[in-house]
Structure 1
Amino acid sequence: MTLNLNFTKKMPFHDLKVNYTFTSPITAIMGASGVGKSTLFQCVSGLKRIDSGKIEFTNKVWNDGSLSLHLPTSERKVGYLFQNLALFPNMNVYHNIAFGLRVQKIAKADIDKNVRHISDYLKISHLLYSSIQKLSGGEKQRVAMARAMITEPNLLLLDEPFNGLDEETREICMNLVGQMAADFRIPVIFVTHYRFEAEKMTNDILMIKDGQIGKA
């Protein structure tokens, strides 16, 4: 599976110009704050429209600026783990994980089956009826990952997924992402500020600088 990006997105202080084809199982993206890393993810996921150019995934066009084609986020099947995790504090773990399937109006029995399958895989079954507010940082990370993966996405975007974790938990979560990419055969693109994280996860490391993206 390949993600081909060739687009421009206007930003407050510069334009983000991306011309790159993602083919690696795991790709890391680095860059200073404000250079457009999150904007890149939002364009790929469909949360933001590109201003010109094209976004394609395995020969299916998601965006085409010249034709004003903008495939909705729901049709792209992109798993997105936000930097702040964006878990719903008023829902327990089970309902956080199930949220994407409930939006799709999947049958309750199938939702339950899928929630239990992914929670078993991520070793959080014992937390299903726990409050989000009572979880540790590593547990919240796994819940967010489960919510991103339960819809069986074509692509997984992780925005600083290891930020704020202690050293031991970070190591566990980094190994988990690598294992998931292999087990589910899903391409992963993740943002990090730390070179050692990027080098541990992949040899394909990109840098965004001055609105351009290229090999770090």
Structure 2
Amino acid sequence: MATGVLQFMDQFKWRTATLICDSLTQYPGLSTFVITSCTNLRMLQQSRRSAYNFFNLDLNSAVTQDYTTFLQQAKLQSRIVILVTHPKIMRDILLAAYAMNMTDGEYMFLAAMSTSVPTRGPITWKFQDGEDKVAFEAFKSVITYSNIDPNWREVTDWTDQIASTASTRFNLTLPNEHKYNDFAISAFEIMLASAEVRKTVICQTPWSNFW
């Protein structure tokens, strides 16, 4: 995602942007995706700071529902705002931006997402909550993009095993959204890959080498 953001900025010759990163502590299983995405983007920008100027703003939507202060800062810093958060929070931020006249074409919002996690849902203006009309207008100032989605069905067995282990060994019941925790999935993949390597090495090594 990080490289894609900078390439996208290059396409339009944008050099200054405000990056708003949400820690999403209310979504423990999803927050790791967002935190990793923001960290990678900031590190890449720092390595190319002669070409790009980022203003970094951190928020935690678990405790902050008024996004006016963050948007006011962004308004004073740049006309490009990169949002990395949950789609629902993103919509709330854009509704606030609409109220501040930041969605009239003078500012552009990039909805950057690393992947589409099943429990996170798509980036959309439509929630059927009475504010769809305003949200639709606000989203006209948004460019959304993401990497190619992984095939989550291929790891369903893994996520089910993670949830089962948490339940049987630690008496911990994982909600569905917590099953898609990239740290847990990565740990499982590492152990699985290590086991496959060990199996291959053992099968290809003459038994005489073990004595």
TM, length-normalised to structure 1: 0.29
Structure with bigger RCO (C-alpha 8 Å, 6+ apart): 1
TM, length-normalised to structure 2: 0.29
Higher helix share goes to which structure?
A: 2
* Greater gyration radius: 2
